[in-house]
Structure 1
Amino acid sequence: MNFQSAGKTLHLKKAPDDEAYWLSVRETMNPLYVNTQLVNTRRGPAPLVVREKVRELVDLSLSYELDEYEPFKEMKESGSSVEIRTLLADYFGAPADEIALTRNAMEGIATVLNGFVLKPGDEILATKFCYDSNLAILRQRALREEIAVKLVDLPFGPASEEEILTAFENAIGEKTKLISIPHVVARTGLVLPVKAISELARSRGIFTFVDGAHSAGHLDLRLEELGCDGYAACLHKWMYGPRGTGFLYIRKEQIPKVWPLFASWSDKPADSIEKFEEVGTVFKALPASIPEMISFNRKIGQAEKSARLRYLRDRWATRLRSHERIRLLTDIDAAPGSGFGGFVVEGMDAEDFANVLLEEFNIHVKAFEMEEDSSMKGIQLSPGLANTTEEIDSFVEATLAILARSHNSFSQAG
């Protein structure tokens, strides 16, 4: 069936507004929320099939000589296997010899940001919207190795591809060797034009590294088409896999330029992606459930997932953006768009708004303040597949009620 989104016609197996279907998906996930949870940036509820697989394997994972039994027989100590790497490679559109299994996005991020070869005086470009842990790694390396870290100045809110590219082009210097960017700005939903940035960087001999924690399983993407040199992601957020699983992608010709976090004890060559998987013993019940996770996502379809997440975002953002006291930080007409959205309530502190919403309406949203710039603050929503349109509509009605109630104080302040 066809569905219109951001001015484009999508050919989908299931429409994003087919509520009977998406309620059936929710049933397979059985989220254990204690309130209406509209923030899913930390983790998503793993579907029952994944949870049951992990439970099934817990005892075996903790037993003696576990490597003698399936499904562990073909797995390395790190939990990786040819099957798992091939499944991830096929899903995300990259050769299997460019995909390494990791325990989370942070492990892949730390591998590249610490391991990419630099020398004193070299420069790394990042942004204010990079995850704070990513920036902490860069600053530690800057202190340790006398390299420079520069933050590219990007708009807080909607921004065109041209604006973003111009900002990076103006920031690149002769010493720039690495660009580190988030694919999706979690607070505002801005999707950075990774392909265009990567093309610009490659033309200058610069390595482009992408934090894909919020795009893997969220956007309909193919790594080979993105064109970046490296990409790290976790599988417990938008792929709905078990916590403690992730992957690192590095283009084949760039692998020798990155040192692994742990020295390879099996003499893997410098150009082998598997050198990044030698991290010691892991709890194998977690990666052993990745096939069930992939099957869950394939059954729904990534294009369908992405369209549903954008639909949920548009359902609240379209109604609220016309309110005089709401300033959207998200361009809901941009393509590709994410399911994230952010906004500012004029005349009301973000923390106060979030607290009232939770205490009086039992709805959880995220009040945020950017670590790099305290003037960048607001409210963020990131509904997931387990959320319903009824929950979205309840949030809108609660927001309108709060705004109406505080109208007098806002008018007097103005």
Structure 2
Amino acid sequence: MNQSNNRRSFLKKTTAMLGAFSANSIFNELHAAEWDNLEKTYHGRDAVEMASNEDYWAVIQQGYSASTAPIVMLNNGGVSPSPIVVQQAVERFNQMTNLGPSYFMWQILDQGRENLRESLAKLGGCSPEEIAINRNATEALVTVIYGLDLQRGDEVIGSHQDYPNMMQAWKQREMREGIVYKQLDFEFPIEDDEQIVRAYQNAISPKTKIIHVTHVVNWTGQIMPVQKIARMAHQKGIEVIVDGAHSYGLLEFNIPDLEGDYFGTSLHKYLSAPIGSGMLWVKKEKISKVWPLICAGDPKSGDIRKFENLGTRSFPIEQGIGEAINFHNAIGTKRKEERVRYLKDYWATKALEIPKLKLHTSLKKEYSCALACISIDGLSPSEIYSQLIKLGKIQTSPIALGKLNVVRISPHVYTKISDLDKLVECLSKISKG
């Protein structure tokens, strides 16, 4: 076969391979047969019942290289490791790209974006025409924060427990444009939806235009009553921005059912997509009113794709998202949610028996899932963090935020029960000094 035929054959194969949603997906290559048999074995089992089935989850764990890492990774609330299939997809697409970037990026890989958009929308229970693919929750939410028309004196209500990048974006608008940024201060855990809703309601004035709310609070894992807040806000003509960085790909919900107007998330947390991937959802009728962060056409267009212009970007990372969706769907959102909640409850319940240790997260399922945080009397977060590294090579996240001085612990589906037993053992030793 001559060189020309070789090249045509190669391009045909790469085109057929393109996209995680084809028969040639890496997930199908590595997992389909085994996981199909696994699903047949456990078909119809309740998700809560399956949460403690270690035989099932042992198979899932094998899909992550992180399950055999030399450290115990319990900071999945920061960035989750990707499954092996996702890593391989990014590597494969990166190698393909570097055979001829301007061709393979724009003519081959870019053609897979619409299938990806549809799959993300299906997972979010919304229209593909409301989904933009980007790099993280910060980019998604700042696009909206900077893109909304607000006038001097208009008010925005957020909280001191929102994510710093979003708070700083609002503060920048306050400094530059004279909007008023109000911040509530919560002491979590709170196990009363109405108390939270009232806090936002009581902060509203005739000048309030926006409420910014975090679905799952990054610091403590508190699940916020977003739908109730949004309904209250809409009755007063106020729009709602939802930070879903820690909820999409973990909790079972449809984005429109939250009843917000805008929603941004990172895909490299509990969806386990490639590091540096995210998503923006904008209610269809709101798209045209939001200015894009980087303009490449009509800024008042009603096409959600106007928010995807970044110039040259990482197509391999973008296309790797598809394999993460395959991996996620093979487990199922509800099953994943219940497993991760089970893991959090497993270690947290045991940790409550440790002297001098305090849990700062509710154990009621309505108010937490993956993230929980602890403190130990007499020790700073950094001291606890350092001791966990020293004693057990356990990676967590120390947090010092106002009155909140805690260590955040966040397992994932690849986390082993033995890892959590080690965590509890180390916490017990640390508390004893």
Q: Same fold (TM over 0.5)?
A: yes
Q: Which has the higher helix share?
A: 2
Aligned-pair distance for 1:349?
2.3
Q: Displacement of 1:326 after TM fit?
A: 2.2
**Structure 2 residue aligned with 1:345:** 376
Shift of 1:321: 2.1
1:162 aligns with 2:177: no
Please tell me whether the aligned partners of residues 267 and 274 of structure 2 are also in contact (alpha carbons under 8 angstroms).
Answer: yes
* Alignment-derived partner of residue 33 in structure 1: 69
Q: Give the equivalent residue in structure 2 for 1:398.
A: 426
Give the counterpart letter for 2:47 in structure 1.
L
**Partner Cα separation in structure 2 for residue 231 and residue 310 of structure 1:** 23
Q: Say whether the 8 Å CA contact 1:14–1:304 is kept in structure 2.
A: no
Aligned-residue RMSD, C-alpha? 1.9
1:229 is matched with which residue? 261
Per-residue CA distance 1:187-221 (angstroms, 9 max, x = gap): 21100111111111111111111111111112112
CA contact (8 A) 1:138 1:149 kept: yes
Of 27, 34, 46, the residue aligned with 1:11 is 46
| Whole-angstrom CA distance in 1 between matches of 2:370 and 2:48 | 19
Contact 1:119–1:147 (CA<8 Å) still a contact in 2?
yes
Tell whether the 8 Å contact from 2:188 to 2:361 is kept in structure 1 after alignment: no
Give 3-state SS (helix, strand or coil) of 1:25's partner.
helix
What's the counterpart of residue 185 of structure 1? 217
Alignment partners' CA distance in 1, 2:430 and 2:417: 20
* Shift in Å, 1:34: 3.4
| Contact 2:381-2:399 within 8 A present in 1 as well | yes
Task: Kindly report which structure 2 residues correspond to 1:99-118, keeping only aligned pairs within 5 A, or say none.
Answer: 99-118=131-150
Match of 1:364 among 364, 388, 395: 395
Q: Secondary structure at the match of 1:348?
A: coil
Q: Which residue of 2 aligns with 1:4?
A: none
Task: Return the offset for 1:269.
Answer: 5.1
SS in 1 for 2:182: strand
- Corresponding position of 1:74: 111
Counterpart code for 2:57: W
What is the DSSP-based 3-state SS (H/G/I as helix, E as strand, rest coil) of the residue aligned with 1:286? helix
Q: Deviations over 1:3-38 (max 9, x none)?
A: xxxxxxx93297111112212111111116332121
Q: Does the aligned pair in 2 maintain the 1:66–1:72 contact within 8 Å?
A: no
Query: Contact conserved, 1:99 with 1:250, CA < 8 A, in 2?
Result: yes
- In 1, the alpha carbon distance for the partners of 2:404 and 2:368 equals 21
- Offset of 1:292 from its aligned partner? 1.3
Partner Cα separation in structure 2 for residue 111 and residue 345 of structure 1: 39
Measure, in 1, the Cα distance between the counterparts of 2:308 and 2:265. Answer: 14
The one-letter amino acid paired with 1:61 is T
CA gap of 1:69–1:227, structure 2 versus 1, over 3 A, is closer
Q: Name the SS for the 2:153 alignment partner.
A: coil
Tell me the SS of whatever aligns to 1:94. Answer: coil
**Alignment of structure 1 residues 377-388 onto 2, 5 Å:** 377-388=405-416
Give 1:382 shift: 0.5
> 2:264–2:279: 8 Å Cα contact kept in structure 1?
yes
**Cross-structure match for 1:274:** 305
The normalised TM-score by structure 2 is 0.85
Distance 1:268 1:111 in 2: 12
Q: Distance in 2 between matches of 1:93 and 1:345?
A: 41
Q: Any residues of structure 2 matched to 1:281-300 within 5 Å, and which?
A: 281-300=312-331
- TM-score for both structures, normalised by structure 1: 0.89
Task: Note the C-alpha offset of 1:155.
Answer: 1.9
CA contact (8 A) 1:340 1:380 kept: yes
The corresponding residue for 1:197 is 229
Q: Secondary structure at the match of 2:210?
A: strand
**Contact 1:220–1:302 (CA<8 Å) still a contact in 2?**
yes
Superposed CA deviations along residues 72-98 of structure 1, whole A, max 9, x for unmatched, are: 2525xxxxx221111110011111111
1:355 and 1:72 map into 2 onto residues whose CA distance is: 43
1:72 partner SS: helix
Identity %: 30
